[in-house]
Amino acid sequence: MRLPSGVRDWLPQDLRRKRGVESVLRGVFARWAYAEVQTPGFERSDVLESALGQGLEEKTFVFGDRYGTQLALRPEMTTPIARLVSTRMKGAALPLRLCYVQPVYRREEPQEGRMREFTQAGVELIGAQSLDADAESLFMAFEALDALGLRDVQFDVNHVAIVEGIITSLALPLEIVSDVKGLVARRNVVGLRERLQGSVSDRACEALLRVVLMRGQEDVLAFARGVCHTAEGIAGIERLSSLLVRARELGFGDRVAIDLSLLRDFEYYTGLIFEGFLNEVGFAVAGGGRYDRLLPRLGFEAGAVGWSVSVERLLIALERRHSTLFGDASAIDVLVSGSDVVAARERAAGRVVRIDFDALNEEQLLAEARALRIPRVLIASNGSVREVEVRW
């Protein structure tokens, strides 16, 4: 029997590794004072449609119940959290720090790192619009990935007002603005050059091509200052400049780069955007940013910033590095033969116990312990208990 495309079974060792990653992430979230919440796996589709960008809306599984209500499997966690805050938590003191580790569902074409069911772990900081809030979100992402041993994750950052300001300052014809934004987001240099030809000056064409090609730090911001003249764009430049300073103070300075073509969902995000990358995998392992328009759409006037990871993508990265994190340690502490009382005593002491059902002799017990990498064997017989240390 075959599974549907884009989902998987989790066998014991694989699930132990997955739960280990989730546990580390939860630990980081807790140390930053984020409280975990849980929402249903499906929502009313009209709630999701009012908040999701077109890209995610097209990837949402929609179905009806017997009462005629249109429902949808959640394709991400930010919108359900926004719905939760706008209803059940609208009287809570701000800012709210919430986190989650839950499965989400997308109508994707399955490939490595892209499944129809996967686990999303992340945080949402709601009701804070300061630079401090942006910095908290970005630097927590650093710490979470560092805690998993991925200490060389490189983060690209941007601010949507900068590209918006560059496009406005260059006075592009209105009929090409939407196309230009899309080509910049896709980093399509050839397509961008063709679309701009005959429509803008050489200076404007060169500036937009540099937006796609440049990646750095203060040099990129210096270029942006020369071509972005809107108040919002200038404020975005200064915000990124301040983030770079704070990143250097924390020792993250050489792991952050400004990428003006990083746009993610241009309509969804309103400020800071960031993504984390590793050499071993060809997709982002973390991503997030500021989204100040989402909660007001749901009737709650508050800005927000957050980020998330796909747990499965992190597992792929750890596997590529042959990481032994969570995977190779013995899951069983002791093998007990001949006594329920001895086994109960070991469990009461917090140990993981395997019981011998087959009345194996000592040689067989030791062979089983070696095969399963169990470090201790307890053999009860005639009222006494003998302990044997296992070597392998």
CA angle (44, 50, 51) in 5-degree steps: 105
State how far the Cα of 343 lies from the Cα of 334, in Å rounded to an integer: 9
pLDDT at 328 over 70: no
**Would you say 208 and 143 are in contact if contact means Cβ atoms under 8 Å apart?**
no
pLDDT at 90 over 70: yes
State how far the Cα of 354 lies from the Cα of 335, in Å rounded to an integer: 5
In sequence order, the β-bridge partners of residue 125 are 97, 305
Per residue in 241-255, pLDDT tens?
999 999 999 999 999
**Would you say 216 and 223 are in contact if contact means Cβ atoms under 8 Å apart?**
no
Q: What percent of the chain has pLDDT over 90?
A: 70
Per residue in 15-70, pLDDT tens?
999 999 999 999 999 999 999 999 999 999 988 887 776 667 788 899 998 998 99
Q: What is the pLDDT of residue 185?
A: 86
Per residue in 193-202, pLDDT tens?
888 888 888 8
Per residue in 94-148, pLDDT tens?
999 999 999 999 998 888 888 999 999 999 999 999 999 999 999 999 999 999 9
Task: Report the pLDDT averaged over residues 327-337.
Answer: 80
Comparing CA positions, the residue from 240, 237, 241, 216 lying closest to residue 225 is: 237
pLDDT at 266 over 60: no
Task: Report the pLDDT averaged over residues 190-219.
Answer: 88
Give all domains of the chain, ordered by start, each with its CATH number.
Answer: 1-151+278-329 (3.30.930.10), 154-261 (no CATH), 334-389 (3.40.50.800)
Q: Where do we find the tokens 């074409």? A: 109
State how far the Cα of 330 lies from the Cα of 194, in Å rounded to an integer: 59
Per residue in 49-62, pLDDT tens?
877 766 677 888 99
Q: What is the pLDDT of residue 354?
A: 96
- Residue 292: CB partners within 8 Å, gap ≥ 6? 129, 270, 271, 303, 304
State how far the Cα of 221 lies from the Cα of 205, in Å rounded to an integer: 18
Q: What is the pLDDT of residue 54?
A: 62
pLDDT band at 329 (very low <50, low <70, confident <90, very high): low
Token pair listed for 110: 């399955």
State how far the Cα of 104 lies from the Cα of 116, in Å rounded to an integer: 8
Averaged confidence pLDDT in the chain: 92
